[in-house]
Amino acid sequence: MSQRYLYLHGFQSGPQSLKARETAAWLQQHPAAGQLLCPQLSPYPAQAMQQLQLLIAQQQPTALIGSSLGGFYATALAEQHRLPAVLINPAIWPERELQHFLGPLHNPYTGEHYRLGREHMQQLVAMRPARLTPARYYLLLGTADAVLDWREAVRHYAGASQLVQSGDDHRLQAWPQLLPGVARFVDDYYRRQAPAAG
């Protein structure tokens, strides 16, 4: 089953990040699995969400992959658009987790200089969905994540499909080996939906 994946990179990252490139390479090697959309997102949450809403309307992806802050965005979009989402060490409370980044910043992937303020944290708060549909999500976590607490994600996405990688880190080094399971999850999600649609 061929899918159209929309990959949402994390904070201070971009389409040239290693995970994004590994995803693109795997899909090139397995063209029957689908295609990849991987935009460079604005560092400002409201603008990033506007970009993503427009991209979804135009390109109609069938699945989301979100890493870290991208996992938070993917959750909001999955609930709104009823899409399956694969979440890699997702941010749960980004307005809290990004507090110590407020001020001037530089994205090493794009060279962009920008400033995050408290108003941007409020934009994140406004995006959080009121409820989650666990069946939409496949959660991939590393227990050695030094950025986010993987146990928070386990609790937050209770009832979702979850794979916890012992000793893996925030980047999730095992990601290339997990991609076949990602494709299976998305295909299985749509197979489960088919009887309901009929």
Asked whether residue 196 carries a pLDDT value surpassing 70, the answer given is: no
Q: What is the dihedral of CA 125, 123, 60, 23, to 10 degrees?
A: -80
Backbone φ and ψ for 14, nearest 5 degrees, come out as 180, 180
> Which sequence spans correspond to the domains of the chain?
3-197
Q: What is the pLDDT of residue 14?
A: 95
Give the separation between CA 74 and CA 54, rounded to whole angstroms: 14
**pLDDT for the residue 145:** 81
Q: Mean of the pLDDT values across residues 100-119?
A: 95
| More reliable by pLDDT, 148 or 137 | 137
* Polymer length in residues for the chain: 198
Residue 197 has pLDDT above 60, yes or no: no
- Flag whether pLDDT at 198 surpasses 60: no
Residue-wise pLDDT tens digits, 57-85 = 999 999 999 999 999 999 999 999 999 99
> Topology of domain 3-197, per CATH?
Rossmann fold (3.40.50)
For CA atoms 15, 17, 21, 23, the dihedral sign is negative
